[in-house]
Amino acid sequence: MRLVSIPVSAGFPSPAADDLEDEIDPIAWIVRHPASTFWWRVEGDCLLDAGILDGDLIAVDRAGVGRNGRAVLAVVEGAVTAKILRREGNRIWLAPANSREDYPLIPFTEETEVWGVIAGVARRYELE
Amino acid sequence: MTRKPIAISDSANFYVSCERLFDPTLKDAPVIVLSNNDGCAVARSDSAKALGVKMAAPLHLIRDKVEAHGIRVFSSNYTLYGDVSARVVSVYEDFTPSVEIYSIDEAFLCFQGVEDRTAYAREMRSAVLRRVGIPVRVGIASSKTLAKCANEIAKKNPIFGGVLDMMDETLANWLLPMVPVGDIWGIGRQTEKKLRELGIATAAELRDMPLRQARKVGTVVLERTVLELQGEPCLSFDEVEPQRKGMAVTRSSGTPMTGFDTLFEAISAHATRAAEKLRQHGLVAGTLTVFFHTNRHRADRPQYAGSRSARLMPMSSDTFDLVHAARRCAEAAWPKDASKGYGFTKAGVMLDDLLPIEDRPITLFDAPQPKSAALMGALDAVNDRFGRKTMVLASEGTERAWKLRADHRSPRYTTRLSDLPVVR
């Protein structure tokens, strides 16, 4: 009689095998297009009512679509500003979102350029 | 014979475009970017060119011009340029399955099977501009030399709107007589002189040169250039003299590379090849970038793209220096979650800031270099040594780095939290 040696798996499957998942990564959740997303730091409370505060880090996606009501970065007269796109009739504005302080309402002209659309916000608080 | 279309996409004044991305006040200003150690102008905006700032003009000789015209001066920020370059390449990869990186701002793309190539290239061009904010120009032809030539023509003639498809022979026949022979890829000053003595002054005349004569004048490389101008692809860019702005050595790997050692084997081979090529042409490099990524067209596999740049201090063409820098870059770019089992299908080494060796700045820390030949032969031994000495060498590297002049460097906008651009 000949003996043939063949390994046969006869144990239980590893109980952990189905539980191997990646750690959650909220940054990857915010950044949908890594090639076109750039992080900026916010100074000032121009978009306070939109939940974007002084010191926040914002992800800005250049591939995002600028629509009425969306928060965007725009280039106006050589400066970058964070505002809300507002359409009223056939006019478009770059509007602040702050009911407490006075920030300018800027008309969107031919020279205005949308740098990108705000894709998300990151903020952290003191712990100690 | 059907000829396959090859496209080359490149960004004119790439470094300037990167600086402009985060600083809109630079949009209409003349801008120059300086080489390693703030020596001379290596990138100039069109307006700076118009003011007469020549390529490689030393900063101390153009001070008057800078002040008189308010030219904005930047030290080179290779960290930023490397990151932006990787983003541009990833847009290309949405448009073609095959991207061959040639330098930090140039890549060859396979356009096979594209029906309306001009429209497709325009679409790609506007995608890069919109998503990354970098203007590129595209030249298309059946060989790399012709594609590069088409790209140059598109760059110089706004009428083409940044895209020129020269697959059509009639178009090539019309355009090539207008291209000076010295503008052809790989034709250096020496060869240009020899050709002009023979009465060959244009790309068309070079194309029509007898092959045997070409070989006699400029070896097999010139012969191949002639064939390439006839539309026959036969030149690998390993053979062409590297451009001053930089070069890349990169290969795809048939079987995905999974471990660090396997990946680094490939990377050190590329770095070794790059060093050889530098020495062959009497050049030294100031910056080395390592990049590698998984197969982007296999969405079912875990995806990762890594890229890091390191300064070469002093500037070098030494295999030891380059492999050492490549090691530091590869380690820094290696994924922290490597246990996911990434399979890397492409790896490469890119060199930037190239200078003839006699022009390189001498630094305080120039140490006598061991003989290169001995080093090259001992690459395996070198790799062994790195395993043990990496820590020491790396720390030497960082200590030296601050000695480098970079008085006008912009923030590392995309790679440092402390350097993020600010919006008010």
Q: What is the pLDDT of residues A72-86, one digit of tens each?
A: 999 999 899 999 999
Q: How confident is the model at residue B355 (pLDDT cuts 50, 70, 90)?
A: confident
| Shortest distance, CA A115 to any CA of chain B (angstroms) | 9
Alpha carbons B208 and A79: distance in angstroms, whole number: 53
pLDDT digits (tens, 9 = 90+) for B131-150: 999 999 999 999 999 999 99
Q: What would the two tokens of residue B139 be?
A: 């030249």
Residues in chain A within 8 Å Cβ distance of B95: none
Asked whether the predicted pLDDT for residue B62 surpasses 50, the reply is yes
* Cβ atoms A105, A93 nearer than 8 A: yes
Least confident among A19-23, A90-94, B190-194, B364-368: B364-368
Residue numbers in A near B414 (CB within 8 A) = 38-39
Residue corresponding to tokens 């700032």:
B53
Looking at the partner chain, which of A35, A39, A80 has a beta carbon nearest the beta carbon of B91? A35
Max alpha carbon distance in chain A (Å)? 95
Residues of chain B found within 8 Å of residue A82, distances taken between Cβ atoms: 423-424
Contact at CB, A22 and B421, closer than 8 angstroms: no
Contacts of A39 in chain B (CB under 8 A): 414, 420
Contact B337 A39 (CB under 8 A): no
Q: What is the pLDDT of residue B386?
A: 46
Give the least confident one: A73-82, B56-65, B298-307: B298-307
Q: Which residues of B touch A57 (CB under 8 A)?
A: 417, 420
How sure is the predictor about A51, in pLDDT bands with cuts at 50, 70 and 90? Answer: very high
Structure tokens belonging to residue B13: 């004044």
ipTM exceeding the 0.95 mark: no
Q: Which two tokens stand for residue B88?
A: 């541009």
**Using the beta-carbon criterion (under 8 Å), do B414 and A43 form an inter-chain contact?**
no
Average pLDDT in the B285-291 region?
Answer: 91
Which domains does chain A carry?
32-122 (2.10.109.10)
Alpha carbons B16 and B23: distance in angstroms, whole number:
11
- Give whole-number Cα distances, B408 to B21, B78, B227, in Å: 17, 13, 45
- With CB atoms and an 8 Å threshold, state whether A44 touches B424: yes
Chains A, B: CB contacts within 8 A come to: 62
**Are A79 and B133 inside 8 Å of each other by CB?**
no
Q: Is the pLDDT score of B377 beyond 60?
A: no
pLDDT in tens, B171-214: 999 999 999 999 898 888 888 999 999 999 999 999 999 999 88
How far is the CA of A89 from the CAs of A68, A70, A86, A93, A117, in angstroms?
A: 11, 17, 10, 11, 22
Contact B132 A33 (CB under 8 A): no
Look up residue A67 and give its amino acid.
R
Cα nearest neighbour of B85 on chain A: A35
Contacts of A33 in chain B (CB under 8 A): 131
Q: Which of residues 104-123 of A touch B (CB under 8 A)?
A: 115
Backbone angles phi, psi at B285, to 5 degrees: -115, 150
What's the confidence (pLDDT) of residue B221?
83
Domains of chain B from N-terminus onward? 246-418 (3.30.1490.100)
pLDDT above 50 for B401: no
B220-B225-B229-B230 Cα dihedral, nearest 10 degrees:
10
Q: Is the confidence at residue B279, as pLDDT, over 70?
A: yes
B108-137 pLDDT, tens digit each: 999 999 999 999 999 999 999 999 999 999
First-to-last CA distance in chain A?
A: 75
